[in-house]
């Protein structure tokens, strides 16, 4: 199974996840959650609406994570990075410009369901 990343186009947290996936040379399928079908798929898999979420295998998805959280998981599981220029913050919110773009784009449905695969919730958003 290919890695699937549920991300926003303009988002600091998503940018951090993209950076880590590139740093570790992980090929992935990016699913933009502003597309209703992708958002609903993420909600059905995780049972929650927060992003970024990264599905690493058929039975493992990391929900509500930052780039730092993803890197911590990869390191704990023996992955070694390929490239690291350190130029992109891994644990950062959106820029003011990105926030404006999000506001102009409208809201999203919150959906909600019980996850059908195991979810490791890092509690990323709850920590702020």
Q: Which pLDDT tens digit goes with each residue over 6-25?
A: 999 888 899 999 999 999 99
**Among 3.40.30, 3.30.70, 3.90.320, 2.40.30, what is the CATH number of 3-106+114-127?**
3.40.30
Scan for tokens 């449905």, then name that residue.
Answer: 109
Question: Domain coordinates of the chain in residue numbers?
Answer: 3-106+114-127
* DSSP three-state, residue 54: strand
Say if pTM beats, i.e. exceeds, 0.95.
no
Of the CA atoms within 13 Å of residue 112, those in its CB half-sphere come to 1
Give tens-digit pLDDT for 84-98. 566 655 566 666 776
Rounded Cα gap, residues 3 and 93, in angstroms: 23
Bridge-based pairing of strands 119-121 and 60-63 is parallel
**Bridge partners (DSSP) listed for residue 7:** 32
Average pLDDT, the chain: 78
Give tens-digit pLDDT for 22-60. 999 999 999 999 999 999 999 999 999 999 999 999 899
Provide, rounded to the nearest whole percent, the portion of the chain with pLDDT above 70: 66
């Amino acid at each position: 199974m290919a890695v699937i990343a549920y991300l926003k186009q303009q988002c600091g947290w998503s940018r951090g996840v993209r950076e880590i996936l590139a740093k570790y040379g992980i090929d992935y399928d990016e699913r933009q959650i502003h597309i209703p079908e992708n958002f609903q798929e993420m909600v059905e898999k995780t049972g929650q609406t927060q992003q970024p979420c990264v599905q690493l295998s058929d039975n493992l998805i990391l929900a509500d994570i930052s780039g730092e959280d993803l890197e911590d998981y990869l390191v704990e599981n023996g992955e070694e990075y390929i490239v690291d220029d350190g130029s992109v913050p891994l644990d950062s919110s959106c820029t003011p410009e990105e926030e404006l773009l999000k506001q102009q784009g409208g809201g999203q449905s919150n959906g909600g369901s019980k996850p059908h695969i195991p979810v490791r919730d890092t509690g990323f958003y709850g920590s702020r």
